[in-house]
Structure 1
Amino acid sequence: MSKPSQVDQITERVERLLLRYAEVQRTNALLARQVDVLAQERDSLKSRLSAARARVDALLERLPDNTATQKDAP
C-alpha cells in the first residue's frame, strides 16, 4: 500500500476532530443538565433550611426568658 497523501491525512484528522467535537458537545449538554438539576436541588435545600430556621426561631420566641431565674439561683 502506498503512503496516504497529505490531503488524505488532513481529511482523516478533520474527521476525527469532528467526532471529538460532537462528543464534547454531548458531554457539555449532559453537564449543563446536571448543573441545572443541582441548582434546583440547592434552591430547594435553601428553601427548606430557611423554613426550618423560621420554625426554630418561632420556637425560641416561645421559650420563657430564664435569665432572671438563673441570676437568683445560688
Structure 2
Amino acid sequence: MSAASPIDQIAERVERLLVRHEEVQRTNALLQEQVEVLTRERDALKSRLSAARARLDAVLEKLPLDEPSSSSSNDAHQA
C-alpha cells in the first residue's frame, strides 16, 4: 500500500468535512422545525393562559366584596 499524496489526503479530508457539513445542516433543519413547533405551542399556551386569566378576573369581579363589619355583626347576633 503506497502512502497517499498530500493532495489526496487533503481531498479526503475535504470530502469528510463536506459530509459532516451536510449532516450538520440536516440536524439544524430538524432542530429549526422543532423550534417552530415549540414556538407555536408556546404561543397557543400563552393565549390560553390569557383567556383563562380574563375569565378568572371576570369571576372575581362578580364576587361580593367581603365587608369586615358583616362578620363582627354576625358575632354580635350570635352572642
Letter of the structure 1 residue corresponding to residue 30 of structure 2: L
SS at match of 1:33: helix
Pick the structure with greater CA Rg.
2
Relative to structure 1, the CA distance from residue 35 to residue 71 in structure 2 (aligned partners, 3 Å threshold; closer, same or farther) is farther
| Two-structure CA RMSD over aligned residues (Å) | 1.2
Unaligned segments of structure 1, at least 5 residues: none
Q: Distance in 2 between matches of 1:71 and 1:17?
A: 81
**Which residue matches 1:53?**
53
Q: How does the TM-score come out when normalised to structure 1? A: 0.92
| Match runs of 1:1-74 below 5 Å | 1-68=1-68, 69-70=70-71, 72=73, 74=75
Tell me which amino acid in the other structure corresponds to 1:59: V
Give TM-score, length-normalised by structure 2.
Answer: 0.86
Which stretches in structure 2 are left out of the alignment for 5+ residues?
none
